[in-house]
Structure 1
Amino acid sequence: MTKKYLFLFLMMMVSIGFNACQDDNDELRTTILSLTVQSPEEMTDFTLSELQAVFTERNTGEKTLSDPFTGTLMILLPEGTYDIAVQGKISYWINGKRQTGEVKASKESNVVLGEKAVLSLPLMLVIDHTDFLISEIFFTGTQTPEKKQYNGDKYMVIYNNSDEVLYADGLVIGQTDFLTVTKHAYRPDIMAEAVGVDCLIQIPGTGKEYPVDPGKYLVIADNAIDHREYNPQSIDLNKADFEWYSTSLGGEVDNTDVPNMFNLYDRMVMHNRGFKSFILARIPVENEQYLKDYRYHYDYDFVFNGITYPMDGDCYKVPNEWVVDAVNLSVESEFQWIVTSPALDMGWTSCGKVDKDPQRYGKSVRRKVLATNPDGTQKLQDTNNSSVDFIPDATPSLMENK
């Protein structure tokens, strides 16, 4: 072999060896990933099932689907950077009642390298509620240092418990005409189909003027002023989102920086002992048509000392299918019945133990937190049972940092 051909042969062998080493270095590297899911916050008595994870490699777009698992997953993945999404089912208990639902978890840009990797994702309960909830009602008001009742500082909080931006335009708040502490056989009985209300106040707007992000809320105030200027034991409602100001009430101050609710029917005067209940609704017809077509006249028999007195009354009715949320209020010593269909609310909540309980002042009813999302927003409990969904005699949210 001449020197020329020997040199070419050696160069070829070096090239083959180099390429072989290069191929060895380019072999697919894999990682054993241990993925654990954490239970939704506030939940202890539960069972997970049918969990499944999808791993999407961000550079290639390739997806890997796991086998079903219940808590911890071991899976072999090519090294890379992954977006991870988990979905599954959950069975859990709330105050002795079993509930079922779905859970999910997700996290982007997870770097998976080396022989082994460990990741943990918090699960979030999937709430199928697609509209607003009443999350708090401060109906009791406050007392002055002289133990006198102070008026005007009541409020309600409306919460977006969904996963989407919702628009509050046109929402109505109604207070029931019937009392939870006095039961009569009203004729006609419309409770299975509608709720009788003694007032309706409406959020203004043409459709998309008042967006509310998931996990955010609106404060609807009686009188949106800093009430501490008149009663040091009261609260500042100057930053409320809306107020139900009424020109017919003498002495009220209209905060021109806070939009007024529209008085669709009568004016809101919250019952400060909790004898009436509240609904949140969307009315799918024009206001004029509603006021024309949905008046409710009823009669009933009032019995006193064995004598029956025929009675009647008038209010408006809101069909149950229009009701977004309902919260029944009462007081323990006086409760007689729920004044909505059980399909809307099968329980009730309260402040105070007896009628005219002075301990009720400065207390509200607040909906329980079911879970906290990874972004810090909360999912509120909604089983259509105010007896288990609400905290009675709670510290009002606007008093916590007073």
Structure 2
Amino acid sequence: MKKLVLSLCLVASLLACKKDKTPGIQPIDVDVKLSYEIATYKLPIEKIIVKITNTHTNASQELATDTAGKVAFKSIPSGLYDIDAVVTISAIEYTRITGIPTENPVTFNASEKGKQIDATLNGVLDLRLIVGKSGDWLIKQIYYAGSDNTNGAVFRDQFLEFSNNTNQVLYADSLYFAQIYGRVSSVSANMNYTSTGQMDWSKSLNMDPGVNANSDYVYAKSLYMIPGTGKQYPVQPGASIIVAQTAINHKSPFTGNDGKVISVRNPELTIDLSTADFEAYYGDISGGKPFASDVDNPQVPNIEIIAPSGNDMILDANGRDGYVIFKVDRTQKVREWPQYPEPLKTAPSATAKKYFQIPIKHLIDGVEIQPNLPASRYPKKLNPGIDAGFTFVPAGNYSSQSVVRKTEKTVNGRRILKDTNNSSQDFDYLDRAQPRGFK
């Protein structure tokens, strides 16, 4: 009897919702149309799955496009939604259609994050399918959350992992990586924003008016480079390198650069990074003031710090950074690339921090991190051609969790990692960060 009453209440609730004519509250019909950014070729547009997800409830629906690339979602409750679509075209099919030889499948992503759906929504939502880059190097694991701030190592055990996803030896020498800067707080009256709510870099002081400042570039909060002579640091197919904030065993006590012993209460919450391939040491920066925990392991090479941020290579534990990797030829002088201050409405101070402008065309891979709670998320910093989605650790900051790229398949013992340029699809998480671990 109780089940019947509950069912009747649920039906009544749904009927009341459908009858509600209050603007912004009644369910909305949402039409979505996909098209390719490159319209030169007749690429497949039918039977592409479009997914719409309520960012508050995480409830989602999926529909396949018709022959015109359209889907129609019916009676969608008002709210904020992520809308995503992805299509992967086999190498043979892509070459047949375009005449462009390729050995790997080609993936296109379309994405609209944090879209407000309510009674004010008019017309069709047009989403562009943008081709992503298939990288030889991939960002494999990001341990940004850190471990417990009372019983663990807080943020000092953070690391990044980059993987060789090819069947050939690659060299880590001169591999650049950066934390991407953008809006990570509430709206400021003194900041210029785009229509998506992200910083409008085209309004930065002295920005070149002849460039597409927002669509063709990203901006580095910090910028680093793996050292080397060119072929000094080989990485075997399927192998990876670890870049540690501090390359020590964080489970054991150690002496900080201030002479005091640093230890953790629960070693199980943190990790051993003494065998990392590289570390970030801020003690050599002119005028720098490294944290006491930033000690130099002489057995581990130091990365080159081109644009420091703070007192160490701190990854935002709340998940508000994007990460990119790139390589360039000798014609590019990265240290001479333009730098710009935040796009403020008023003139920045003479000492305001400036951010390196990185051309998207040079990027190999990028991963967007967002906070674990939907209400705490911000407009994306990376466009769909770099990362159409985002990833996060479900337990949030100081949880010992890391995000890690999924294994797509194993060939002759070599793991090939998933790479659709959509980290919502490509990444999972490890309940305890594990250097060189897999999922």
Contact 1:299–1:313 (8 Å) recurs in 2: no
CA deviation after TM superposition for structure 1 residue 337, in Å = 1.6
Amino acid in the other structure paired with 2:244: A
TM-score (norm 1): 0.62
1:219 aligns with 2:242: yes
- CA deviation profile, 1:226-259 (whole Å, cap 9, x unmatched): 0001221211000000001110313221110000
Name which of 280, 303, 313 aligns with 1:261.
Answer: 303
- The residue number in structure 2 matching 1:239 is 275
Read off the aligned partner of 1:266 and give its amino acid letter. P
Is the 2:271–2:433 Cα contact (8 Å) retained in structure 1?
no
**For the aligned residues, what is the CA RMSD?**
3.0
Aligned pairs for 1:75-94 (under 5 A) are none
Q: Is contact 2:143-2:158 (8 Å) kept?
A: yes
The counterpart of 1:292, out of the listed 332, 336, 349, is 336
SS at match of 2:435: helix
Aligned to 1:21: none
Which residue among 372, 377, 381 is the counterpart of 2:410? 372
Q: Which residue of 2 aligns with 1:250?
A: 291
**2:156 — aligned with what?**
152
What is the CA–CA distance in structure 2 between the aligned matches of 1:181 and 1:381, rounded to whole Å? 31
Q: C-alpha separation between the residues in 2 aligned to 1:211 and 1:138?
A: 23
CA displacement 1:65-86 (0-9 Å, x = unmatched): xxxxxxxxxxxxxxxxxxxxxx
Would you say 1:397 and 2:437 are equivalent positions? no
Counterpart contact for 2:406–2:418, Cα < 8 Å:
yes
Distance in 2 separating the partners of 1:170 and 1:400: 24
Residue 339 of structure 1 pairs with residue 381 of structure 2: yes
Residue deviations 1:272-324, cap 9 Å, x none? 1111111111133578x4333321234235xxxxxxx7768621111011111
Give me the whole-angstrom Cα distance separating, in 2, the residues matched to 1:400 and 1:170: 24
- 2:391 counterpart residue number: 349
- Give the residue type in structure 1 aligned to 2:308: D
Q: Which amino acid aligns with 1:193?
A: D
- Which residue among 176, 179, 183 is the counterpart of 2:180? 176
Structure 1 position 323 matched with structure 2 position 363: yes
SS at 1:219 equivalent:
strand
Summarize the Cα distance change of 1:399–1:209 in structure 2 as closer, same or farther, 3 Å threshold. closer
Query: Structure 1 154/185 Cα, relative in aligned 2: closer, same or farther at 3 Å?
Result: closer
Distance 1:177 1:400, change over 3 A: closer
2:320 aligned partner = 275
Q: 1:181 to 1:127 in 2, by over 3 A?
A: farther
Distance, in Å, in 2 between the alignment partners of 1:239 and 1:94 is 43
Residues 94 and 394 (structure 1), Cα distance of their counterparts in 2 relative to 1, 3 Å cut? farther
* 1-structure distance, mates of 2:250, 2:175: 26
> In 1, Cα distance between the equivalents of 2:169 and 2:153?
39
Contact 1:364–1:392 (CA under 8 A) maintained in structure 2:
yes
How far does residue 147 in structure 1 lie from its aligned partner after superposition?
4.4
Secondary structure of the equivalent of 1:387? helix
- Equivalent residue of 2:336, what SS? helix
Aligned-partner SS, 2:273: coil
For 1:302-317, list aligned pairs within 5 A: 314-317=354-357
Which letter maps to 1:131? D
Distance 1:378 1:399 in 2: 12
Structure 1 position 99, deviation (Å): 2.1
Amino acid at match of 2:140: S
The residue aligned with 1:100 is: 89
C-alpha deviations, 1:359-384, integer Å up to 9, x for none? x51001111111111x2111111111
Gaps of 5+ in 1: 1-90, 104-124, 302-308
Larger radius of gyration, structure 1 or 2? 1
CA distance in 2, matches of 1:152, 1:283: 30
How much does 1:163 deviate?
1.7
2:337–2:357 CA contact under 8 A, matched in 1: no
Instruction: Give the secondary structure class of the aligned counterpart of 2:90.
Output: strand
The CA deviation at 1:153 is: 0.5
Deviation (angstroms), 1:396: 1.7
Say how many residue pairs are matched. 276
Q: Write the distance in 2 (CA, Å) between the matches of 1:347 and 1:176.
A: 15
Residues 111-190 of structure 1: pairs in structure 2 closer than 5 A: 129-143=134-148, 146-147=150-151, 150-179=154-183, 183-188=197-202, 190=213
Measure, in 2, the Cα distance between the counterparts of 1:396 and 1:127.
30
1:84 corresponds to = none
CA deviations 1:203-248 (Å, max 9, x no partner) are 0012111111110110111100000012212110000000011103
Amino acid at match of 2:320: F
Please state whether the residue corresponding to 1:333 is helix, strand or coil: helix
Q: Any stretches of 5+ residues in structure 2 without a counterpart? A: 1-46, 52-61, 63-85, 93-102, 107-133, 187-196, 203-211, 253-262
Partner AA of 2:363 in structure 1: V
Give the distance between the partners of 1:286 and 1:300, measured in 2 at CA: 32
Structure 1 residues 223, 149: closer, same or farther in 2, change over 3 A? Answer: closer
Task: Find the residue that maps to 1:152 and give its secondary structure.
Answer: coil
Counterpart amino acid of residue 194 in structure 1 = Y
Question: Matched residues in 1 for 2:436 and 2:409: separation?
Answer: 23
Cα 1:310–1:330 change in 2 (3 A) is: farther
Which shows bigger deviation, 292-301 or 337-346?
A: 292-301
**CA 1:393–1:257 in structure 2 vs 1: closer, same or farther (change >3 Å)?**
closer
